[in-house]
């Protein structure tokens, strides 16, 4: 692992990109495009903050997340790879894959001609990943920050055999009051409820969340808009390379059982996730790659 001094020397960009050690001991990169700020932990390639100029924070972070290795960070954008949900092999393997529990390296940073600040983090197959998943791969997360935040996960099959994976950019959007939001963009779409194989169809133009919800919308490629009346703003998640959108909020009872969600924290977020799962699980032949991306913005 590189020290923050080494990272600064090799990848720092004056006034735009700095590295520091977070109070929990993890390295965090701070991006500033002049139009927005964002932070990403190298542990898990975990985006923890996105704040467009003049706006409040867009991503929710739990006050109770521990920032300790071996435990996923709660909030922001956890990166689920190479499986989404429960492991299909060993039941003691981590839920949502191992990528969010590993240190990622930095491979490049740039200040682009259009003023965007970019950082690419990477994770490659190693003895540690082979223990969980016997495949040769390289995963890269490229974050580009202008006035919006673009996050793109590229997975490359670097081996000689085919591989299959599922993934998600598991975004926790910060909302003023869960009960006062209306989610647009899911109407006319089939969905599964977590743990069930029964399909449902959403007819309502807007989804309100007045109960625990864990849905996987399938064949869904369009943008999702979160209208938040209490914060007087609309958040937009527009994605590429993902045909499943997961919408999740645990509700009060389940959230009380999740030790790293602070009391009543469930009222402050909704997860809208760009996923590759169900029929959109990704198969890669040797040398092939796939990109899953989401652009997050505040509607003007
Ligand atoms: O994406 C929804 C989901 O799979 C839910 O079922 C819920 O468990 C959530 O992810 C959070 O998972 P985590 O492992 O981060 O607690």
The pLDDT assigned to 90 comes to: 75
- At 133 the three-state DSSP class reads coil
Cβ–ligand 1 distance for 96 under 6 Å, the answer yes
Gap between the Cα atoms of 182 and 226, Å rounded? 6
Look over the chain and give the mean of its residue pLDDT values, rounded to a whole number.
Answer: 96
Measured by CA distance, the residue closest to atom 2 of ligand 1 is 248
Cβ–ligand 1 distance for 86 under 6 Å, the answer no
Mutate-to-test residue for ligand 1 from 76, 81, 271, highest number of ligand atoms within 8 A of CB: 271
Q: Read off the tokens for 50.
A: 């996105």
Concatenated DSSP letters of 214-240: EEEE-S--S-EEEEETTTTEEEEEEEE
84 CA to centre of ligand 1 in angstroms: 9
Query: pTM of whole model > 0.75?
Result: yes
| CA distances from residue 142 to 104, 106, 134, 147, 264 in whole angstroms, order as listed | 12, 10, 24, 16, 33
77 CA to centre of ligand 1 in angstroms: 12
Gap between the Cα atoms of 269 and 171, Å rounded? 10
Q: Which residues pair with 151 in a beta bridge?
A: 143, 294
Measured by CA distance, the residue closest to atom 9 of ligand 1 is 248
Residues 6+ positions from 243 with CB-CB distance below 8 Å = 218, 219, 220, 221, 276, 279, 280
pLDDT in tens, 195-225: 888 999 999 999 999 999 999 999 999 999 9
Mutate-to-test residue for ligand 1 from 214, 237, 245, 265, highest number of ligand atoms within 8 A of CB: 214
Gap between the Cα atoms of 47 and 116, Å rounded? 16
The pLDDT assigned to 248 comes to: 98
* Low-confidence residues in the chain, pLDDT < 70: none
pLDDT in tens, 19-38: 999 988 999 999 999 999 99
């Amino acid at each position: 692992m590189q020290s923050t001094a080494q990272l600064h020397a090799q990848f720092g960009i004056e006034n735009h990109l700095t590295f520091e050690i977070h109070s929990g001991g993890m390295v965090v990169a701070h991006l500033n495009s002049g139009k927005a700020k964002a932070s990403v932990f190298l542990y898990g390639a975990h985006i923890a903050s996105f704040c467009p100029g003049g706006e409040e924070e867009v991503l929710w972070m739990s006050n109770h997340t521990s920032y300790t290795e071996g435990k996923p960070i709660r909030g922001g954008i956890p990166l689920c790879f190479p499986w989404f949900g429960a492991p299909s092999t060993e039941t003691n393997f981590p839920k949502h894959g191992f990528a969010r529990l590993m240190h990622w390296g930095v491979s490049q940073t740039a200040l682009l001609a259009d003023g965007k600040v970019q950082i690419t983090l990477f994770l490659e197959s190693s003895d540690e990943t082979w223990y969980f998943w016997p495949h040769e791969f390289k995963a890269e997360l490229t974050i580009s920050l202008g006035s919006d935040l673009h996050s793109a996960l590229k997975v490359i099959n670097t081996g000689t055999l085919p591989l299959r994976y599922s993934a998600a950019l598991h975004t926790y959007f910060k909302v003023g009051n869960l009960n006062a939001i209306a989610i647009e963009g899911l109407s006319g779409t089939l969905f599964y409820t977590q743990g069930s194989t029964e399909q449902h169809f959403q007819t309502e133009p807007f989804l309100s969340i007045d109960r625990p919800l864990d849905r996987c919308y399938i064949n869904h490629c369009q943008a999702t808009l979160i209208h938040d009346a209490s914060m007087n703003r609309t958040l937009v998640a527009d994605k590429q390379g993902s045909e499943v959108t997961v919408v999740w909020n645990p509700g009060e009872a389940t959230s009380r059982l999740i030790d790293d969600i602070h009391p009543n924290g469930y009222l402050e977020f909704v997860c809208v996730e760009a996923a590759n799962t169900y029929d959109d699980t990704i198969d890669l032949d040797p040398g092939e790659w796939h990109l899953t991306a989401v652009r997050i913005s505040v509607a003007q």
